[in-house]
Amino acid sequence: MGVIVDELGEAGVGSGDLVAVALADGVGVGLALPGTEWSGPLGEVDGPVSVVADVEAALAPRWVVWSSATTLALAQAGVRVATCWDVAAVQRLLFGGWRADPARVWAQLHDLPLTTMPSTGPVDLFSLAEAADVDPEQPIRPDGYLAADWAGGEAWAATPARLARWAALAARVATEQQARLAALSVEHPRVGMTARVESAAELLCAEMTVAGLPVDRADAEVIVAGFVGRRPRSDAEAAELRARRDAEVLRHLPAGSHYDLRSPGQVRSLLRRVGIEVPDTRAWRLEALRDQHPVVEALLVWRKAERVATTYGYGWLDQHLVPDGRLRGKWSGSDGAAGRMTASAGLHNMPSDMRAAVLAEPGHVFVRADLGQIEPRVLAAVSGDRALAQATHDDDMYAPVARQLGVDRATAKVAVLGTMYGQTTGHSAHILPRLRATYPVAMAYLEEADRSGQLGQDLRTYGGRLVRMGATATGDASLDEQAARSRAAAQGRYGRNALVQGAAAELFKVWAATVRTRGAELDAEIVLCLHDELLVHVPEANGQATADLVATSLHEAAHRWSPTPSVRFVADVSVIPRWSDAKA
């Protein structure tokens, strides 16, 4: 292993230089620089990841990986690397969407039609004939595509030589991606930084996947029981408890009424029975009708209990909360749309009531940080609206906005958020002319995104991420005029929201990546990234130092992401033993 470190050092590799890696347990490790390759030693005592650990300690390169599967393997082995270049993450930035498998990455980088990519389907006479023209030792076919067995993972992990070849191909792809980014940076100068941060986010996601979220099982089960009752001992008992929950709603109706509360259509019929007509049964709509009939309040309480019973109940705890007291799901650095971080196992949609069960381990605390009014502050930054930027200097930016618009704070907040989401009707609609007059640059930015979305024109965020908008509705012959207008309006709303949400996600990831890097010396472990909220698990003795670091990291991240100092970003930071102890 020391030989490889020496060879890389002699090749001039230093901190931040690209080194591609491919790993396979029981086979070895492949390493490569652009234009070169090495195959690692076989039979290492600690496995292939020990090579990465040694090179990281000695040289701290930027590791090129095909996807987060490699960084996850490193995190599972306890190897922490400082930086990486995640080919799949950069692919999503450049080309949009979620799919970023090697075959697609290669085809799109080389402008090859996706419709004729080699298939990994069942072998037939045609595929046998094609295979006869393909050298099994080479990943690239004569027609320019990646060979299906290489792209699918079966071939490249077979031998050390193939591992090295696969790493060399990753290094080549990384340099080709960087060339694309350089061309794109003429119009989107921050796209190169975004690519590095997207890769850093995948490193953080791998670490959060392995670490898990500290949860006290006893507390969690008490919370679940408060909603759905004791843990059922049989299917019959579960059905009985379910019927009791239903009865708490149905008792507000005339005797003999029978409705399936799990059917939106039947819930609408139920409400019609008591004189309430609604176009749908969304929670926000029902919440506005709480005072019209007791059944509405009962239905909202039932929904919360039903969500716990079906999604966040005893089965959820049994499946995801392991004996070490950590609740684990798989994290991803991008949702494939505007680029928000996301996770499985319900970590991104956990009911607020469950936060009381998220408890720091003995000798530890949480540092919780929540970005304040992030969306309008981001809008001020990305649009360059000086008047809106001036409002961000207040801790509560809605207060100066309300004064400038001549309305109360609540109306100002609804109006600003509504225009970012495309809500141009309703209570705050009469404020729109004042918004346009007071913040013309910000409103023009949103309206241009809306127009592009309606026309089906793809967009790019402040950081350069491609947001696919799809075909224009006017070109769909299957839609009548009203349906086409409705679809176009929806695309417009999505477009304006995606640019704000996407930019906010980019700033958040710069912040999270900065905390990850700076917090290593304090043993600070990020365990949750929730849209605009960070939860850091840290030794109690380092709690305040970590809180200070999180705050200063926001200032550093904001300066890197938006070099202009005209927009102020704020965060509520607290040191707490339990997630629910944070100020709402």
Compute the half-sphere exposure of residue 445: CA atoms within 13 Å on the CB side of its CA.
23
Question: How far is the C-alpha of 380 from the C-alpha of 531, rounded, in Å?
Answer: 19
pLDDT at res. 43 = 42
Task: Check whether residue 361 and residue 394 sit in a common domain.
Answer: no
| pLDDT level of residue 584 (50, 70, 90 thresholds) | low
Q: Is residue 323 part of a domain?
A: no
Task: Check whether residue 334 and residue 469 sit in a common domain.
Answer: no
pLDDT at res. 259 = 92
Q: How many CB atoms lie within 10 A of CB 363?
A: 8
Does the pLDDT of residue 378 top 60, yes or no? yes
Residue 262 is part of which domain span?
217-317
Task: Check whether residue 490 and residue 542 sit in a common domain.
Answer: no
Q: Is residue 574 part of a domain?
A: yes
Does the pLDDT of residue 39 top 70, yes or no? no
Q: Is residue 95 part of a domain?
A: yes
Sequence-distant (6+) residues with CB within 8 A of 318 are: none
Q: What is the mean pLDDT of residues 403-426?
A: 86
pLDDT at res. 130 = 52
| pLDDT level of residue 478 (50, 70, 90 thresholds) | low
pLDDT at res. 537 = 98
pTM: 0.91
pLDDT at res. 477 = 57
Residue in the structure block whose two tokens are 């477009």: 495
Does the pLDDT of residue 126 top 70, yes or no? no
Task: Check whether residue 515 and residue 496 sit in a common domain.
Answer: no
Single out the residue in 475, 502, 529 at which a domain terminates: 502
Question: How far is the C-alpha of 393 from the C-alpha of 234, rounded, in Å?
Answer: 58
pLDDT at res. 125 = 45
Torsion, CA 163, CA 156, CA 331, CA 18, rounded to 10: 40
Task: Check whether residue 368 and residue 392 sit in a common domain.
Answer: no
Instruction: Give me the percent of the chain exceeding a pLDDT of 70.
Output: 93
| pLDDT level of residue 244 (50, 70, 90 thresholds) | very high
Cβ(34)–Cβ(172) below 8 Å: yes
Q: What is the mean pLDDT of residues 271-292?
A: 89
More confident residue, 186 or 478: 186
Does the pLDDT of residue 223 top 60, yes or no? yes
Question: How far is the C-alpha of 349 from the C-alpha of 505, rounded, in Å?
Answer: 17
pLDDT at res. 128 = 45
CA distances from 371 to 28, 64, 192, 343 (A): 44, 31, 24, 20
Task: Check whether residue 50 and residue 148 sit in a common domain.
Answer: yes
Task: Check whether residue 275 and residue 364 sit in a common domain.
Answer: no
Sequence-distant (6+) residues with CB within 8 A of 514 are: 553, 556, 557, 560
Cβ(553)–Cβ(511) below 8 Å: yes
Does the pLDDT of residue 192 top 90, yes or no? yes
pLDDT at res. 391 = 96
Helix (H, G, I), strand (E, B) or coil at 460: strand
Does the pLDDT of residue 230 top 70, yes or no? yes
Task: Check whether residue 10 and residue 25 sit in a common domain.
Answer: yes
Does the pLDDT of residue 121 top 60, yes or no? no
Q: Is residue 211 part of a domain?
A: no
The CATH number of the domain where 102 resides is what? Answer: 3.30.420
Task: Check whether residue 92 and residue 176 sit in a common domain.
Answer: yes
Does the pLDDT of residue 41 top 70, yes or no? no
Count of the separate structural domains present in the chain = 4
Does the pLDDT of residue 366 top 80, yes or no? yes
Q: What is the mean pLDDT of residues 448-467?
A: 94
pLDDT at res. 3 = 78
Residues in the chain: 584
More confident residue, 68 or 473: 68
Question: How far is the C-alpha of 369 from the C-alpha of 579, rounded, in Å?
Answer: 11
Q: How many CB atoms lie within 10 A of CB 35?
A: 9
Cβ(428)–Cβ(411) below 8 Å: yes
The CATH number of the domain where 264 resides is what? Answer: 1.20.1060.10
Q: Tell me the per-residue pLDDT of 381-392, one tens digit each, with 9 for 90 and over.
A: 999 999 999 999
Q: Is residue 191 part of a domain?
A: no
Task: Check whether residue 22 and residue 150 sit in a common domain.
Answer: yes
Pairing mode of beta strands 62-65, 83-86: parallel
Q: Is residue 254 part of a domain?
A: yes
The CATH number of the domain where 521 resides is what? Answer: 3.30.70.370
Does the pLDDT of residue 338 top 50, yes or no? yes
Sequence-distant (6+) residues with CB within 8 A of 38 are: 4, 7, 30, 31, 32, 164
Q: What is the mean pLDDT of residues 460-479?
A: 77
Q: Is residue 251 part of a domain?
A: yes
Does the pLDDT of residue 545 top 90, yes or no? yes
Single out the residue in 468, 502, 536 at which a domain terminates: 502
Q: Tell me the per-residue pLDDT of 129-170, one tens digit each, with 9 for 90 and over.
A: 455 567 888 999 999 999 999 998 889 999 888 999 999 999
Does the pLDDT of residue 394 top 80, yes or no? yes
Task: Check whether residue 521 and residue 444 sit in a common domain.
Answer: no
Single out the residue in 132, 164, 184 at which a domain terminates: 184
Question: How far is the C-alpha of 478 from the C-alpha of 154, rounded, in Å?
Answer: 43
pLDDT at res. 132 = 53
Q: What is the mean pLDDT of residues 461-471?
A: 89
Does the pLDDT of residue 212 top 70, yes or no? yes
Does the pLDDT of residue 454 top 60, yes or no? yes
Does the pLDDT of residue 29 top 50, yes or no? yes
Helix (H, G, I), strand (E, B) or coil at 63: strand
Q: What is the mean pLDDT of the chain?
A: 90
Q: Is residue 193 part of a domain?
A: no
Task: Check whether residue 33 and residue 10 sit in a common domain.
Answer: yes
